[in-house]
Amino acid sequence: MARKCGKAADDGLALWVKAADEGKVGWGRIIGRKV
C-alpha cells in the first residue's frame, strides 16, 4: 500500500477510505478498491 511516506501515507489512505465510506468522495471508492 504505502511505500513512499510510511505512516503519513497510511494516514492519508485511511482518510480516503473514511471519506469514501461516508459517500463524500464517490470516486474514492474506486481508488480504495485498486489499493
Residue 11, all three cell numbers? 494516514
Average pLDDT over residues 4-33: 71
Average pLDDT over residues 19-35: 65
Chain mean position to CA 17: 4
Angstrom distance (rounded) from CA 23 to CA 12: 17
| DSSP three-state, residue 13 | helix
Average pLDDT over residues 8-31: 72
pLDDT at position 29: 60
**Domain residue spans in the chain?**
1-35
